[in-house]
Amino acid sequence: MQLRDPSGQLRASAAGPSATLYVCGITPYDSTHLGHAATYVAFDVLRRTWMDAGLSVQHASNVTDVDDPLLERAAATGVDWRDLAADQTAKFADDMAALRVLPPHTYLTVTETVPQVAETVVALLRDGAAYQLDDGDVYADLSADPAFGGVAALDDATMHTLFAERGGDPDRVGKRHQLDPLLWRAERPGDPAWDVPVLPRGRPGWHVECAMIATASLGSVVDVQGGGRDLVFPHHEMSTSHARLLGTSVRVQAHAGLVAYAGQKMSKSLGNLVFVNTLLADGNDPSAIRLAIGAHHYRTDWEWTGDQLTAAHTRLTRWRTAAARRTAAPAAPVLSAVRQALANDLDTPTALAAIDTWTRTEGEDESAATEIRTLTDALLGIAL
Ligand code: ZN
């Protein structure tokens, strides 16, 4: 990931150099699992790295609190969908706080932004970038965006397959193109729906929600759009396309690898989930969980095992013992090595290794331990 633009210049504003980050949020219908945690911890390290570099950071995220999986779970369990969403959104916030993930500056749910999403859909319709079917549903016309396809760079067959697998409706009759994504869904019996101007009573589609929130929260440039790798297509491709038509460009797409458990990608549908709140309830130190995550480069896919958590606890104990020393090796070279590693596409394994080396080195510096504690706290979110 490039943290600077190709000319090597940071974007400057009257308030000094700045950076904007949009991280796609959760659909709140189940507890936070380690795959989610790894993604949010990765972008938290990015935000901390930017702050350390002196950038003024604006970070926005969303909560998809109206979506088919949420409504299906609510119906299956006999819970009101609003209660399920509110409950899981609060639990997610608790998990993130426990993991010391800095909260976004702007954090919006679909249900509190329906009028703005509807305005966005109307604007796309007005600009000829969207069209309405006979039943009132509105779709984006992807042919209005010549740059569509640049995020994922996939061939047509793969895009078609992933679109069908991940919430799209390629076979919907009446669409101009099979990949055109839903922007507004007219009310169906039993579905949540809102009255808005111009459009029929209904609810927003998924991708346009993120496009609107990113545009409204961060302005005309999103420096990094982040999320799990399974969001590359269609979600980031579509939301980036919508945002572009709304006048907001996304400079860098960054995607966290997927976390497997027991041989398969951790996913709700497979049921092989390791929940953050379970790990915390079992007494695991949140800093050990962050260390276990940080031992992997954020872009790689990896598999969670109990051994890794044990190793992270051992590492944390060693770091804490070292950081309690009265004298130690100087911190400045460690800080330099950690900054260099993080500037290199958030290379946390190398950053952690630099601190490992310090813990094993003796020295006479009386302020080093304090400086290392500050470094791990500020840059890595690790409390020693
Ligand atoms: Zn999103």
- CA 111 – ligand 1 centroid, Å: 15
Banded model confidence at residue 272, pLDDT cuts 50, 70, 90 = confident
Flag whether pLDDT at 376 surpasses 50: yes
3-state class of 351 per DSSP?
A: helix
Q: H-type helices in 168-285, by residue range?
A: 206-218, 237-245, 276-281
* 209-225 tens-digit pLDDT: 999 999 999 999 999 99
Write down the pLDDT at residue 7: 39
Average pLDDT over residues 287-299: 98
Residue 6 has pLDDT above 80, yes or no: no
Distance of CA 224 from the midpoint of ligand 1 (Å): 12
Q: How far apart are CA 169 and CA 6, in angstroms?
A: 37
Copy the structure tokens of residue 264.
């398969």
- CA of 97 from ligand 1 middle (Å) equals 21
48, 294 Cβ separation under 8 angstroms: no
Joined together, the tokens standing for residue 46 give 């990015």
Q: What SS3 class is residue 5?
A: coil
- Cβ atoms within 10 Å of 159's Cβ, excluding its own: 21
Find the 381 Cα to ligand 1 centroid distance in Å. Answer: 24
pLDDT at 16: 73
Which token pair is 374? 């500050």
pLDDT in tens, 153-202: 999 999 999 999 999 999 999 999 999 999 999 999 989 999 999 999 99
**Angle between the N-to-C axes of helices 206-218 and 114-126, in degrees from 0 to 180, rounded to the nearest 10:** 100
Whether 10 has a pLDDT exceeding 90, the answer reads no
Whether pLDDT at 51 is above 80? yes
Task: Classify residue 199 by burial, with Cβ atoms within 10 Å: 0-12, 13-18, 19+.
Answer: buried
**Cα(236) to centroid of ligand 1, in Å?**
7
- Taking all residues of the chain, what is their mean pLDDT, rounded to a whole number? 94
Tell me which residue has tokens 């966005």.
120
Handedness of CA 281, 307, 256, 169 (dihedral sign): negative
Quote the ligand 1 centre to 53 CA distance (angstroms). 26
Q: Return the pLDDT at 380.
A: 98
At 335-362, the pLDDT tens digits run 999 999 999 999 999 999 999 999 999 9
- Is the confidence at residue 322, as pLDDT, over 50? yes
Measured CA to CA in angstroms, residue 303 lies from 42, 110, 148, 256 at distances of 16, 32, 33, 13
Q: What is the DSSP string of 96-116?
A: HHHTTPPPPSEEEESTTTHHH
What is the rounded CA–CA span in Å between residue 243 and residue 235? Answer: 12
57 pLDDT tier (thresholds 50, 70, 90): very high
In this predicted structure, what is the pLDDT of residue 271?
81
Position 13 scores a pLDDT of 57
Give pLDDT, residue 14. Answer: 57
- Ligand 1 centroid – CA 94 distance (Å): 21
Q: What is the mean pLDDT of residues 47-60?
A: 96
Tell me what pLDDT residue 53 has: 95
How confident is the model at residue 15, as a pLDDT?
62
Q: Are 315 and 376 in contact (CB under 8 A)?
A: no
Q: Which of 158, 133, 124, 302 is nearest to 237 (CA)?
A: 158
Model pTM score: 0.94
pLDDT for 195: 98
What's the rounded mean pLDDT across residues 230-235?
A: 95
Local confidence band at 11 (pLDDT 50, 70, 90 cut-offs): low
Q: Report the half-sphere exposure of 175 (CA within 13 A, side-chain side).
A: 20
Ligand 1 center from residue 96 Cα (angstroms): 18
Three-state DSSP state, 139: strand
> Residue range 233-262: average pLDDT?
96
For the segment 233-247, the average pLDDT, to the nearest whole number, is 97
Per DSSP (E only), the strands in 48-89 are 56-63
Report the separation in Å between the CA atom of 43 and the middle of ligand 1, taken as the mean of its atom positions.
14
